């Protein structure tokens, strides 16, 4: 057999910085790369070496003993894939539609607060990366970039806005009006945070937003009973924290629906009972989520809660999921169990901390490629080919 010519392959990998391994066996060339980042964990390690401890612990910590934080990953590992063979997967189409918007693939970026702690361009860099990848970007109310600046900085990205119903309803209403004016396509109401969870790392670190940053959506807010001098960055943070309302109920969603034309997605649903209520109160969709395991410990992993919620409302609401997504087969498992799309939070922050917009783009590219490989090897050409029979709990095999 003649020696294969791999010069073009080597050149496509970046010339001198990336070379073909001496141990390649044709026709499956292998190669080595300098500092290659090939999975989300690689981005996390890079970010951990670059973030200040205050920010790193804030982003990566969970509530209590962090049992659920680990469970979000472990629960995916307990699911087995059941591939089908000899199916034409030569042309993959992983596009999808959510609320009439076309996505290039079923993954978006979840709302994560205060992203300028990770990179100076913060939420704008993250949103631009999402737009290039054909993904949805959800902006957190507690962002370090304002609604308006994000709209200007990432005009081509599909943008949703995450919010809370505050004690002072005029604050929430003004945020809704701004989101509508800035062309955000949906409102994501977080419903699992009447109060903040107990995150031990933040308590130990006495966490606070760095003094050069502020909660940008609240700059210029006129707070009743708070003097102008007190409304610097720290004053804004304290005021916003004081506005979290433990009295809100499902009836308040009727109020929110009454002040906006945007579809309302509730985020933080973990039970079929609450999913049914979301349907009854007119929500357009829901995100199965345990808030990144940051609110209360020992609740189920998001993927564990997904099946009962899909069974309860899957034909009537757009059911989505976040929590624990780290690789392509996690995306596949969530879709097989009924989610229409999934979201990642921490992985996007790791990419952002590593290399700004380019880092998020690279992280998303790694995830997408991994998902495409999973699709092909399971025997699915389109998302419509995915069925629940392609995933089984490990207990089905443990009997052996």
Binding residues, as ranges, are 58, 111-113, 140, 162, 164, 190, 199, 267, 289, 291, 294, 345-346
Residue 12 CB partners (closer than 8 Å, separation 6+): none
Q: Please state the separation of Cα 15 from the chain's center in Å.
A: 35
Nearest to 62 by CA among 301, 374, 279, 226: 301
DSSP designation for 216? G
**Alpha carbons 366 and 114: distance in angstroms, whole number:** 24
> Is 352 in a helix, a strand, or coil?
helix
Q: Which residue do the tokens 């962090």 mark?
A: 66
Crossing angle between the packed helical segments 251-258 and 169-181, to the nearest 10 degrees: 40
261 is annotated as an active-site residue = no
**Alpha carbons 384 and 106: distance in angstroms, whole number:** 12
CB 266 within 8 A of CB 279: no
**Alpha carbons 346 and 323: distance in angstroms, whole number:** 9
* Known binding residues for glyoxylate: 58, 164, 199, 291, 294
The token pair at 286 is 């829901």
> Is 137 in a helix, a strand, or coil?
strand
β-bridge pairing 79-81 and 391-393: antiparallel
**Alpha carbons 59 and 263: distance in angstroms, whole number:** 28
CB 109 within 8 A of CB 126: yes
> Is 91 in a helix, a strand, or coil?
coil
* Known binding residues for FMN: 111-113, 140, 162, 190, 267, 289, 345-346
**Alpha carbons 193 and 337: distance in angstroms, whole number:** 26
**Alpha carbons 266 and 279: distance in angstroms, whole number:** 10
CA atoms within 13 A on the CB side of 335: 27
> In DSSP terms, which residues pair with 264 in a beta bridge?
187
Q: Which of 23, 97, 291, 393 is catalytic?
A: 291
**Alpha carbons 33 and 21: distance in angstroms, whole number:** 9
Residues classed as catalytic: 291
């Amino acid at each position: 057999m003649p020696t294969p010519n791999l010069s073009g392959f080597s050149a496509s990998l970046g010339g001198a910085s990336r070379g073909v391994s001496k141990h390649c066996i044709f026709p499956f060339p292998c190669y080595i790369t300098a500092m290659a980042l090939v999975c989300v964990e690689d981005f996390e390690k890079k970010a951990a070496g670059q973030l200040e401890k205050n920010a790193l612990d804030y982003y990566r910590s969970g509530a209590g003993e962090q049992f659920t934080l680990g469970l979000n990953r472990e629960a995916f590992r307990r699911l087995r894939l059941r591939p089908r063979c000899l199916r034409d997967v030569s042309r993959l189409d992983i596009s999808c539609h959510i609320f009439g918007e076309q996505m290039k693939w079923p993954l978006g970026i979840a709302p994560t607060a205060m992203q300028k702690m990770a990179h100076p361009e913060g939420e704008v860099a993250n949103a631009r990366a999402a737009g290039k990848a054909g993904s949805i970007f959800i902006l957190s109310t507690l962002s370090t970039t304002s609604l308006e600046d994000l709209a200007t900085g990432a005009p081509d990205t599909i943008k949703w806005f995450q919010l809370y119903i505050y004690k002072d309803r005029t604050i929430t209403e003004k945020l809704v009006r701004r989101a509508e004016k800035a062309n955000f396509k949906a409102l994501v109401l977080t419903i699992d945070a009447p109060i903040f969870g107990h995150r031990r790392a933040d308590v130990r670190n006495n966490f606070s937003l760095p003094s050069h940053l502020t909660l940008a959506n609240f700059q210029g807010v006129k707070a009743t009973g708070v003097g102008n001098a007190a409304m610097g960055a720290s004053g804004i943070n304290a005021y916003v924290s004081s506005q979290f309302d433990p009295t809100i109920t499902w009836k308040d969603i009727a109020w929110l629906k009454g002040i906006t034309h945007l579809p309302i997605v509730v985020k933080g649903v973990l039970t079929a009972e609450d999913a049914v209520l979301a349907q009854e109160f007119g929500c357009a969709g829901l995100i199965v989520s345990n808030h990144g395991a940051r609110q209360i410990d020992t609740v189920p992993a998001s993927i564990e809660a997904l099946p009962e919620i899909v069974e309860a409302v899957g034909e009537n609401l757009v059911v989505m999921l976040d929590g624990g997504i780290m690789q392509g087969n996690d995306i596949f498992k969530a879709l097989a169990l009924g989610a229409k799309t999934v979201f990642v939070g921490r992985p996007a922050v790791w990419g952002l901390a590593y290399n700004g917009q380019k880092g998020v783009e690279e992280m998303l590219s790694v995830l997408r490629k991994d998902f495409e490989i999973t699709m092909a090897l399971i025997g699915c050409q389109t998302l419509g080919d995915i069925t629940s029979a392609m995933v089984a709990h490990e207990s089905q095999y443990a009997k052996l």
